[in-house]
Amino acid sequence: MNTLSTPDHRHIAVNQIGYATEGAKIAIFSGEAHGFRVINEETGAMVYTGKSGKAIVDKPSGAIVHVADFSGVRTAGRYHLEGDDGNVSASFVIGDKPYGELQQGLLKAFYYYRCGVELTGEFAGPWAHGACHTAEGIVYGQPELTLDSCGGWHDAGDYGKYSGPGAKAIADLLLAYELYPTAFAVSIPLPESDGKTPDVLLECKVELDWLFKMQEPGTGGVYHKLTTLNFPGLDVMPEEDNAELYFSPVSATATGDFAGVMAMAARVYEPYDQGYARQCLTAAEAAWSWLQQHPEAPGFMNPPGISTGEYGDDTDQDERYWAAAELYRTTGEAVYHEAVQALAQLSFPKYSLGWADMGGYGTLTYLLTGESATEKGLYTSLKQGLLAEADRLVRQSREDGYRISLLEEDYIWGSNMLVLNNAMLLLAAEHFSGETAYAACALDHLHYLMGRNVLDISYVTGFGDRPVMHPHHRPSVGDGVADPVPGLVSGGPDRGLHDEYVAEHLQGKPAAQCFADHDLSYSTNEVTIYWNSPAVFVTARFNM
């Protein structure tokens, strides 16, 4: 086994935020089994003693691990664990709803991702900066044509803006609001907060308003992305990035994602702004018309001269499936129902929630439409498939030393997105089945994200005892502020070692240890909106 080499590594991993008062409370010991005690930090009193369980050889992490269960502690307060060997865990809270501030921080991160507006000190604190990327963008291949491109969210650690990934992020947030509305009762606040429209909808509107600008005038098709030709330097602040912006060509995947998210928004925003809801639906229908007129559009590839993130996707069947499902759920029109049923017969992943495989959103949308409004055989088949996939994730989690559903080969670039997307799917299974065991497994995934992992690190900036401090995120690098922008979810371990920094420093490490908290490690420590969005969904479930 490859042991950890960090000198100050703690061998007791916990959720560094905390645990719910009445829920399960489990820490993971690595190395030797030990007796342990739980200490109330306010009083210094020992409130619980126990012994860690039998050894598990956990191949993904390269560690021998033991479960330490202290679920018997049910008094609210701040605690830590101490092992008989002198090891001490991170400090954490036990409380009624311990993830409230975390959810707010994860959602507030989208404000920090905003493009085209000044982030003022009132709302951004020390991470304030000037308005950026306010110039018109050039339509690639038509240098004489420039269009308004301002607004939306920066996608990641760079300043590109992408239609498909943006739609995935909005979909996660709107699904969270649809399923767990009470979790969004408290204002963040945002500059637009009005006490009427929930802040999550106000923030999503920022991206939706930008997406309208990505729809090609006159055709309904949607430009794939808006970026400069090349990425700026790592320390370049957004308002200093003045290179020309380009609308990349229309793609079927972007158009399908646009149709899906706009149809979804039309439904969600209707109680708050009927005019805006109609605008969303009209745009969705125009995008669907484009898809119908282009049944075999080629996959997107970066055009010559553009080297920014490609987000290439050769298959658009899943995006069309999601679009049809959302349009049917919103309008009830038979033409969309027929399209859903036809597309569902094709071979693409029906339960994936990634930006490249959006089929899971189509499935969830169809199931949320309700059994009475759907075709019985398809509804039953999709529900059974969803629960079977969730059962598979539960089985994998039970075999994993850190109680998550990732196999060794799943520690890929953006592995934390898999962690969170899997947790989302588990919570969807809970919603449709009523089985709370799925939620318990999803919560184990949140525990992993927040520190109960082999590296004893919180993968969310600004939250936890040992959070990520050096994300690959240009504003965090260039702003001169010691702490990074808070609330950003890091990509997590990548066994492929896809950047120069980790290729030099992490050779031979087990999969779950292939992570570097360094701003040069774009393959393990970059941040994106669509890693934050499923994290908001998961925390919302536990803040109801």
Where in the sequence numbering do the catalytic residues fall? Answer: 517, 526
Report which residue type is found at 307: S
Report which residue type is found at 244: E
Pairing status of strand 77-83 against strand 12-13: unpaired
Cβ 291 vs Cβ 320: under 8 Å: yes
Separation CA 274–CA 280 (nearest Å): 10
Cβ 30 vs Cβ 56: under 8 Å: no
Cβ 259 vs Cβ 284: under 8 Å: yes
Report which residue type is found at 290: W
Cβ 398 vs Cβ 473: under 8 Å: no
Does residue 22 sit in helix, strand or coil?
Answer: coil
Does residue 389 sit in helix, strand or coil?
Answer: helix
Those residues whose C-beta lies under 8 Å from the C-beta of residue 287, and which sit 6 or more positions away, are 215, 220, 221, 222, 255, 256, 258, 259, 262, 323
Separation CA 449–CA 515 (nearest Å): 13
Cβ 54 vs Cβ 66: under 8 Å: yes
Question: From residue 328, how far is each of 274, 278, 367, 369, 390 by CA, in Å?
Answer: 18, 15, 12, 8, 25
Separation CA 336–CA 360 (nearest Å): 17
